[in-house]
């Protein structure tokens, strides 16, 4: 079962993470902090980045940015996706009415925001009001439901699951999407319940 997912920044400050190369495929990551006037006032080490060589990615990912889990009807975990690293980029405007929203973010292209294998450092930014969407065609955006029974399930997206990033509010980091599995082996069906204005069959 393939799915898209978006994690967005509700503000009031941009999420800015710099990576600095320490090994061929690893970087140390640092998060930067800003005051109400947008001036940088501090930073802290916040985990790391890794090179993702898979087709559709081929850039640097910040580790432990989000996790995906499939829950049963009782909302207990059944399957956990191995994907947990992401390139942070402003792929979609989500809510431009939140405080300090940036209406014209710079890094909207994954191919320029997340570096290449020769990069010694990268800066990944998720601006206020914008979200980072990973579409269902990318590696890691799926669960194997072959052996699961028909019925109700929930796709759970958890932002910052290991609390490596510093946030003002950790209570808005979990989102659920109800899905119903049907059909027969080899011909499974998935129906997703509408969420707000999102109604994907």
Does the structure show a pLDDT above 90 at 32? yes
* DSSP class per residue in the chain: -B--EEEE--SSS-EEEEEEEEETTEEEEEEEEE-TTS-EEEEEEEEEEEEE-STTT-EEEETTSEEEEEE-TT--EEEE-S---B-----EE--TTSTT--SS-S---HHHHS--TT-SEEEEEE-TTEEEEE-TTSTT-B---TTPPSEEEEEEEEESTT--S--S--TT-EEEEEEEEEEETTEEEEEE--BTTB---
Share of the chain above pLDDT 90, in %: 57
Model confidence at 116, pLDDT cuts 50, 70, 90, reads confident
Quickly count: other Cβ atoms within 10 Å of residue 66's Cβ.
22
Give the C-alpha separation, 84 to 67, whole Å.
5
pTM of the model: 0.87
Does the structure show a pLDDT above 90 at 22? yes
* Higher-pLDDT residue of 201, 17: 17
Gyration radius of the chain's alpha carbons: 18
Could you read off the pLDDT of 159-171 as tens digits, one per residue? 999 999 999 889 9
């Amino acid at each position: 079962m393939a799915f898209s997912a978006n994690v967005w920044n509700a503000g009031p400050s941009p999420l800015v993470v710099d990576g600095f190369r320490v090994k061929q495929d690893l970087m140390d990551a640092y998060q930067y902090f800003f005051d109400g006037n947008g001036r940088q006032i501090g930073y802290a080490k916040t985990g790391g980045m890794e090179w993702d060589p898979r087709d559709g990615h081929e850039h640097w990912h910040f580790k432990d940015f989000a996790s995906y889990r499939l829950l049963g009807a009782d909302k207990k975990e059944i399957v956990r996706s191995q994907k947990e690293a992401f390139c942070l980029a402003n792929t979609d405007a989500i809510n431009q009415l939140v405080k300090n929203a940036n209406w014209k973010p710079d890094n909207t292209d994954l191919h320029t925001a997340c570096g290449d294998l020769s990069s010694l450092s990268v800066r990944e930014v998720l601006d206020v009001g914008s979200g980072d969407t990973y579409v269902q065609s990318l590696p890691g955006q799926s669960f194997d439901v072959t052996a699961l029974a028909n019925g109700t399930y929930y796709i759970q997206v958890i932002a910052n699951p290991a609390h490596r990033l510093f946030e003002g509010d950790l209570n808005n980091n979990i989102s659920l999407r109800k899905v119903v599995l049907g059909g027969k082996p080899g011909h499974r069906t998935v129906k997703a319940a509408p969420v707000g204005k999102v109604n994907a069959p």
